Amino acid sequence: MECKVALEASSGDKERAKAWLREKGLAKAIKKASRATSEGLVGSYIHIGGKIGVLVEVNCETDFVARTDEFQSLVKDIAMQIAATDPMYLRGEDVPEDGVARQREAFRQEALSSGVPADRLDRVVDEKVAKFFAERCLYEQPFIKDPGTNIGQLVAGKIAKIGENIKVNRFARFKIGEPQTV
């Protein structure tokens, strides 16, 4: 029924109808974001060769959803993403403010030393900070199976499809030969 409404809203244009449905799904996901997530799974992924391993806790609202193939597949994909990309934080807001300030200053000095004009300096620094977040924050990273989608969008899409709030709560990544961090 929603497809019919979307086609009517977009005057029969299938691409516009798809975009309309995506926007509606994201709006639903935003509404569900405040709901408690006290169930879920701890998933694991061991990369081929056994040199990298990941544990990730992904929460949802009910144990029924946690047992579905769709949710379990999401947990596995997120664990594989963590193994491949080695994020440091879940979200951008998890990065300490002093760490962002230090990173911003380092990017500013780098840009100045490479001769970036003063009128473009702030924009260049902002772009480098955005790239830093995309590399180091799980929710900001492009999904390895679909680089056009980031992990935050992947989770939001699953929220819209499944109908429950979903959150990545925490993760740990282990690699042979790396020092232990606590």
DSSP structure string for the chain:
-HHHHHHHHTTT-HHHHHHHHHHHHHHHHHHHTTS---EEEEEEEE-TTSSEEEEEEEEES-HHHHTSHHHHHHHHHHHHHHHHH--SBSSGGGS-HHHHHHHHHHHHHHHHHTT--HHHHHHHHHHHHHHHHHHHBGGGSEETTEEEEEHHHHHHHHHHHH-S-EEEEEEEEEETTSPP--
Query: Do 143 and 129 sit in the same domain of this protein?
Result: no
Domain count, the chain: 3
pLDDT tens per residue, range 96-111: 999 889 989 999 988 8
Question: Do 82 and 141 share a domain, yes or no?
Answer: yes
171: pLDDT strictly greater than 70: yes
Mean pLDDT of all residues in the chain?
A: 87
**Same domain flag for 142 and 81:** yes
Q: Dump pLDDT digits (tens) for 70-82.
A: 999 999 999 999 9
User: 114: domain range?
Assistant: 96-134
